[in-house]
A and B are shown apart, each in its own frame.
Chain A
Amino acid sequence: MNAIGRPLPRVEGAAKVTGAARYAGEFDQPGQAHAVIVSATVGLGRIAAIDVATAQTLPGVLAVISHLNAPKLAYSPHKGFIDPAHGERLHVFQDDQIRFFGQPVAVVIADTLDQAEHAAAAIHVDYAARTPELRIEGVETLPAGGSHASAYKARGDADAALSQAPVKVDAVYRIARENHNPMEPHATIAAWDGDRLHLWSKSQFVTNEQVEIAAVFGLPADHVHVTCPFIGGAFGTALRTWPHVTIAAIGARHVNRAVKLVLTRRQMFYTTGHRPRSMQRVALGAGTDGKLSAIVHEGTAETSRYEQFVEALTTITSYLYSCPNVRSSHGLAPTDTSTPTYMRAPGEASGVFAVECAMDELAGALNMDPVSLRLLNEPSIDEGENRPFSSRSLKDCIEQGAARFGWSRRDPRPRAMRDGRLLIGWGMATATYPAFHAPAGARACLHGNGPAEVEAAASDMGPGTYTSMTQVAADALGLPPEHVLFQLGRSDFPRTPPHGGSMTMASVGSAVQAACLAVRAKAVQAAIADARSPLFGAAAADIDAADGSLFVKSEPARRETYATIAARHGSIEAEATCSPDEDARKRFSMHSFGAVFTEVAVDPDLGIVRVRRAVGAYGCGRVINPRLARSQCTGGMVGGIGMALMEQTLLDPRDGRPVNASMADYLVPVNLDVNELDAIFVEEDDPHVNALGVKGVGEIALTGIAPAIANAVYHATGKRVRALPIRIEDLI
């Protein structure tokens, strides 16, 4: 029986429910000291003086390190997959400049955490402060270039078509800054052994952290080892290697002891990235029949002064619908804040919000059902790239989702549906995300006893990498999943792309499959060449594998277990690297699609919105594990409820301080906010996208939900709120 496609429970489940799973900050080292960062309390300027005298004399304090006594670090050039193409990363403790509120200005190392925290509070810094620029509107913007040159798209003459369109909508949509706020704060334990550094560090990209820290310290990459077997949520915040990792390593070297550094929750709002604030103008023009004639999508998002972070804010616009005239652009507003980073469905979630709200407004202007409007504008090819989709199931998603939701019972008029005094709104939106695939490696090893071991430098921040890779390996080897041990999170394992962009299943999965097929082929060769094997002399092509054995297809009685072969032959190992099929990627446009339907209840007097239910239908290729994929989708919906109704990091306009930098003040949904959530997967057989036929689900799950909620709020109340989050004050 195939493991792929089965709803297996998580293989690491027992470790997680018993507290045995160890996260980065829990790999305590002998003699370990504790580090606490001192963060800048102005938004721009320079350090005029640092008084560490009191702090240094406090009990247990081992060192205070700032730009005054920090080592000059190499900071060799290095740009990983996830680093902005333009600009230079923050160099910590290398000068007296303050670039943003919360920038690390010093670190205290002490014997205990309480001692380090107290000493950090005793450090007094004088600043020569200036007023930071925080605005993203009414300021000069930079064109977003670099790796996302595709942010500029034009076909036809969108502006002319817009001006001539008989029906049009034209509005500006805004999204607040969001912070990932995973439950686990960033944590690093750093330990030096001579000029070798071991980091136990929260990371979605351990091989990049290895190379980045090696570059920062001017070390050969193989002198840095990074371990991270479990990630307590990340959603993108642990893709890049942030300054605290460097600080932990500086501290450990300075005191010649292992050092543990865990960011406070407040510091999680300072230097570990955020979804950038954005404003987007979307203008749609259509004929009276609803056919789109023009799309203009102009987006602006914040970045820092020292790096140009670009996300896919406007990239979905060119392929989402059929339209002859499309223009999209993406500008950056440099601000005196820290650099944003990828946060679940980066760019797409924001862009889809604007476009899908605009589509809802257009449906209203046309007096047309929002579902019909989308079906009417369904393209036959990717009109932006002028090539076919490898698969596109949006129509199926819309139809199946609408049927499951009961959309046909919707009264189209705003404020028409009620439950007692509550206004009921039904809204929908399209979801989409690219099907990325990047080169990845994996290693597989068969042993005389014990499970087959498979390893890759991948990560599992929660989607279920451990489980899904076990399933892929089990099928490739012909082993039951319980006889496979998949390991990840070590920089000395074969390299993989970042654990983000919904590309882990495609990339690492393909590599795991390839490595397992390679080691299986080696086992076949060993058996058929060995006179002691029942398979001796058979043709390799005649051998199949099942239930832990190799056997001759035409004579199934001729069989031998992997264990027997490996016991006789010695452990058999193979490594494989798997790259995307570039030819297929040139021929086809590869994306996931989905449709999300929501019901909200709005208290018309008090402005309280509750999401009563949501149905998401997704076409994302083959689903390796329906149980886990479903959880990812419903989890994404919970994130979308937060994005739509709660999440915003508020900056003090005077100094850029993230004011609500706590879990009590930065609101995310609690259990009582979440009601009925349903995710369905439409059948999709995509032979082009990769060997496994998978497209990933983690990101698409967060696109579509926020606009579906916003559209439902409009349907309930008749009030169009174009800025997220939609809060009580917007509706009273």
Chain B
Amino acid sequence: MTPFAYHASPDEQDAIASAVAGGRYIAGGTTLIDLMREEVEEPKRLIDINQLPLHDIRETADGLVIGALARMAEVAAHPAVARMQPLLVETLLEGASPQLRNMASIGGNLLQRVRCPYFRTLDAACNKRRPGSGCAAIGGINHNHAILGTSDHCVATHPSDLAVSLVALGAVVRIRGPQGLREFPVEALYRLPGDTPHLEHTLSPGELIVEVFVPYGPYAQRARYLKVRDRASYEFALVSIAAALEIDAGVVRQARLAAGGVATRPWRLAACEAALVGQPASQATWRKVAPLSVAGARPLSGNGFKIELLQRTLVRTLELAGEAA
């Protein structure tokens, strides 16, 4: 680990000023410390934001507000979350481990970095870690890598489960920065790798996620997260789907869908969503829309199976969501 200065920030103003001056926020630390130990991350100055008053989870008239420093476990155990957005509880409990969920913050979860093994070691080519050095995964071991949203420069999957469900639910991140507050959909937080895979999100220097707003919708109670992986727990997704449906009289009125484990960012399945509206909530419908989920997929040498697995996982999740509530 490269030496750094440590600063426990007392308030947002101090934290943002410290970050603008080149510091790096740390909350749960479960991503950052791991990568600092590998020296993939080398912040000169760590700004501990855990004292900031961003831990609350509260209900509003139209949704749920989750403080960026709330821990995954706290959100998963919160009665308002269970009541208003059961999808988030299911999603959070599928992620990481009980210990890590006690540590990892919601803001940090959204900004966690990729699990590509070539990214996480200094001695491999990785455009994300060292722009221009190449992508070792494309010609290497890429079983877990992305089939969607990839480029010739990066094929790493975004690892967050939570982000997938938040994208599906149309959640919004609220950001405080040197220029004040702004907000935008979680979906807009993430960039595609393109030819700049080292740029992962749309935050400006010093900007801090302060909370996430999850709007309530008629689909919230008919929502499921399904995570497919090779062992039953404590593993990142090979494929995951968050599906939330509004069904009325057996007809889909609204569908919100996103996929994880298959794309370089949480992957909104907009074409599937559109195709579902007005269709009967049936196995036949689920099967009919599934092929739309893999439009534009580009398999690598080791992950072609994800094209089929994504469609099957989507069909199953729609089926489960259709049965839910």
Instruction: Mark A residues whose CB is within 8 Å of B.
Output: 41, 114, 117-118, 121, 266, 605-608, 610, 645-646, 650-654, 657, 659-662, 664-665, 667, 669-673, 727-729, 732
For the complex, what is the distance from the CA of A657 to the CA of B126, rounded to whole Å?
A: 15
**B1-32 interface bits toward A, Cβ cutoff 8 Å, 1 = contact, 0 = none:** 11100000000000000000000000000000
Say which one of B56-64, B207-215, B229-237 lies at the interface with A.
Answer: B229-237
A606 touches B121 (CB 8 A): no
B309 touches A608 (CB 8 A): no
B312 touches A667 (CB 8 A): no
A659 touches B233 (CB 8 A): no
Q: Which residues of B contact A266 (CB under 8 A)?
A: 121
Q: How many residues of B contact A (CB 8 A)?
A: 35
Q: How far is the CB of B103 from chain A (nearest CB, A)?
A: 15
- A667-B231, A732-B312 are contacts. A118–B39 as well, Cβ < 8 Å? yes
Partner of A121, one of B115, B122, B143, B235: B122
Closest 9 CB pairs of A and B: A729-B305, A41-B123, A672-B232, A659-B141, A672-B233, A121-B39, A650-B141, A652-B140, A673-B232
- A117-B37, A118-B39, A652-B140 are contacts. A670–B309 as well, Cβ < 8 Å? no
Partner of B309, one of A41, A121, A728: A728
Q: How far is the CB of B323 from chain A (nearest CB, A)?
A: 13
For the complex, what is the distance from the CA of A732 to the CA of B136, rounded to whole Å?
A: 28
Report 11 cross-chain contacts, Cβ distance below 8 Å, ordered by A residue: A117-B37, A118-B3, A121-B2, A121-B122, A606-B316, A652-B140, A659-B118, A660-B141, A670-B233, A672-B232, A728-B238
A659 touches B309 (CB 8 A): no
Q: Which residues of B contact A653 (CB under 8 A)?
A: 140
B230 touches A646 (CB 8 A): yes
- The residue in chain B whose Cβ has the minimal distance to the Cβ of A42 is B123
Q: Which residues of B contact A606 (CB under 8 A)?
A: 228, 309, 312-313, 316
Q: How far is the CB of B33 from chain A (nearest CB, A)?
A: 12
Q: Which residues of B contact A605 (CB under 8 A)?
A: 312, 315-316
- The residue in chain A whose Cβ has the minimal distance to the Cβ of B121 is A266
- A121-B122, A660-B117, A665-B117 are contacts. A610–B1 as well, Cβ < 8 Å? no
- The residue in chain B whose Cβ has the minimal distance to the Cβ of A609 is B230
Q: How far is the CB of A724 from chain B (nearest CB, A)?
A: 13
Partner of B136, one of A114, A607, A650, A652: A652
Q: Which residues of A contact B1 (CB under 8 A)?
A: 114, 117-118
Q: How far is the CB of A523 from chain B (nearest CB, A)?
A: 53
B233 touches A662 (CB 8 A): no
Tell me the dominant secondary structure on chain B's binding face.
loop
Given A652-B140, A729-B309, 6 further pairs, Cβ under 8 A: A606-B312, A659-B118, A661-B117, A665-B117, A728-B230, A732-B305
- A118-B3, A653-B140, A659-B117 are contacts. A728–B233 as well, Cβ < 8 Å? no
B296 proximal to A (CB < 8 A): no
For the complex, what is the distance from the CA of A366 to the CA of B141, rounded to whole Å?
A: 40
Q: Which residues of B contact A667 (CB under 8 A)?
A: 230-231, 235
A732 touches B308 (CB 8 A): yes
Q: How far is the CB of A723 from chain B (nearest CB, A)?
A: 14
Q: Which residues of B contact A41 (CB under 8 A)?
A: 123
B139 proximal to A (CB < 8 A): yes
For the complex, what is the distance from the CA of A659 to the CA of B142, rounded to whole Å?
A: 10
B192 proximal to A (CB < 8 A): no
Q: How far is the CB of B166 from chain A (nearest CB, A)?
A: 23
Q: Which of B114-139 contact A (CB under 8 A)?
A: 115, 117-118, 120-124, 136, 139
Q: Which residues of A contact B305 (CB under 8 A)?
A: 728-729, 732
Instruction: Mark B residues whose CB is within 8 Å of A.
Output: 1-3, 37, 39, 115, 117-118, 120-124, 136, 139-141, 143-144, 228, 230-236, 238, 305, 308-309, 312-313, 315-316
Q: How far is the CB of A604 from chain B (nearest CB, A)?
A: 10
Q: How far is the CB of A177 from chain B (nearest CB, A)?
A: 13
Tell me the dominant secondary structure on chain A's binding face.
loop
Q: Which residues of A contact B313 (CB under 8 A)?
A: 606
A727 touches B232 (CB 8 A): no
Chain A CB count within 10 A is highest, among B120, B305, B313, for B305
Q: Which residues of A contact B118 (CB under 8 A)?
A: 659
Q: Which residues of B contact A660 (CB under 8 A)?
A: 117, 141
Q: Which residues of A contact B139 (CB under 8 A)?
A: 654
Chain A CB count within 10 A is highest, among B1, B3, B117, for B117
Q: How far is the CB of A721 from chain B (nearest CB, A)?
A: 13
For the complex, what is the distance from the CA of A665 to the CA of B118, rounded to whole Å?
A: 12
Q: How far is the CB of B314 from chain A (nearest CB, A)?
A: 11
- A654-B139, A660-B117, A732-B305 are contacts. A669–B231 as well, Cβ < 8 Å? yes
Q: How far is the CB of A155 from chain B (nearest CB, A)?
A: 41
For the complex, what is the distance from the CA of A605 to the CA of B309, rounded to whole Å?
A: 8
- The residue in chain A whose Cβ has the minimal distance to the Cβ of B140 is A652
Q: Which residues of A contact B231 (CB under 8 A)?
A: 645-646, 667, 669-670, 672-673
Q: Which residues of A contact B315 (CB under 8 A)?
A: 605
For the complex, what is the distance from the CA of A672 to the CA of B235, rounded to whole Å?
A: 12
Q: Which residues of B contact A664 (CB under 8 A)?
A: 115, 235-236
For the complex, what is the distance from the CA of A672 to the CA of B230, rounded to whole Å?
A: 12
- A117-B1, A606-B316 are contacts. A659–B140 as well, Cβ < 8 Å? yes
For the complex, what is the distance from the CA of A728 to the CA of B39, rounded to whole Å?
A: 34
- A606-B312, A652-B141 are contacts. A670–B228 as well, Cβ < 8 Å? no
Q: Which residues of A contact B141 (CB under 8 A)?
A: 650-652, 659-660
Q: Which residues of A contact B123 (CB under 8 A)?
A: 41
Q: How far is the CB of B49 from chain A (nearest CB, A)?
A: 23
For the complex, what is the distance from the CA of A608 to the CA of B313, rounded to whole Å?
A: 11
Q: Which residues of A contact B143 (CB under 8 A)?
A: 650
- The residue in chain B whose Cβ has the minimal distance to the Cβ of A663 is B234
A118 touches B230 (CB 8 A): no
A727 touches B230 (CB 8 A): yes
Q: How far is the CB of A34 from chain B (nearest CB, A)?
A: 13
Q: Which residues of B contact A659 (CB under 8 A)?
A: 117-118, 140-141
- The residue in chain B whose Cβ has the minimal distance to the Cβ of A662 is B117
For the complex, what is the distance from the CA of A650 to the CA of B235, rounded to whole Å?
A: 17
For the complex, what is the distance from the CA of A536 to the CA of B117, rounded to whole Å?
A: 75
For the complex, what is the distance from the CA of A667 to the CA of B230, rounded to whole Å?
A: 8
Q: How far is the CB of A658 from chain B (nearest CB, A)?
A: 9
A670 touches B234 (CB 8 A): yes
Q: How far is the CB of B161 from chain A (nearest CB, A)?
A: 15
- The residue in chain A whose Cβ has the minimal distance to the Cβ of B226 is A606
For the complex, what is the distance from the CA of A665 to the CA of B142, rounded to whole Å?
A: 12
Q: Which residues of A contact B234 (CB under 8 A)?
A: 670
Chain B CB count within 10 A is highest, among A266, A669, A729, for A729
Q: Which residues of A contact B144 (CB under 8 A)?
A: 665
Q: How far is the CB of A528 from chain B (nearest CB, A)?
A: 62
Q: Which residues of A contact B228 (CB under 8 A)?
A: 606, 608, 728
For the complex, what is the distance from the CA of A605 to the CA of B238, rounded to whole Å?
A: 15
- The residue in chain B whose Cβ has the minimal distance to the Cβ of A101 is B123
Partner of A732, one of B37, B115, B120, B309: B309
For the complex, what is the distance from the CA of A381 to the CA of B136, rounded to whole Å?
A: 55
Chain A CB count within 10 A is highest, among B123, B230, B235, for B230
For the complex, what is the distance from the CA of A660 to the CA of B140, rounded to whole Å?
A: 11
B309 touches A607 (CB 8 A): yes
For the complex, what is the distance from the CA of A27 to the CA of B259, rounded to whole Å?
A: 49
Q: Which residues of B contact A117 (CB under 8 A)?
A: 1, 37
For the complex, what is the distance from the CA of A664 to the CA of B115, rounded to whole Å?
A: 9
For the complex, what is the distance from the CA of A67 to the CA of B58, rounded to whole Å?
A: 62
Q: How far is the CB of B245 from chain A (nearest CB, A)?
A: 19
B232 touches A670 (CB 8 A): yes
- The residue in chain A whose Cβ has the minimal distance to the Cβ of B308 is A732
Q: How far is the CB of B172 from chain A (nearest CB, A)?
A: 31
For the complex, what is the distance from the CA of A646 to the CA of B315, rounded to whole Å?
A: 25
Q: How far is the CB of A410 from chain B (nearest CB, A)?
A: 25
For the complex, what is the distance from the CA of A639 to the CA of B135, rounded to whole Å?
A: 34
For the complex, what is the distance from the CA of A606 to the CA of B234, rounded to whole Å?
A: 18
For the complex, what is the distance from the CA of A654 to the CA of B135, rounded to whole Å?
A: 13
Q: Which residues of A contact B120 (CB under 8 A)?
A: 662
Q: Which residues of B contact A670 (CB under 8 A)?
A: 231-234
- The residue in chain B whose Cβ has the minimal distance to the Cβ of A726 is B230
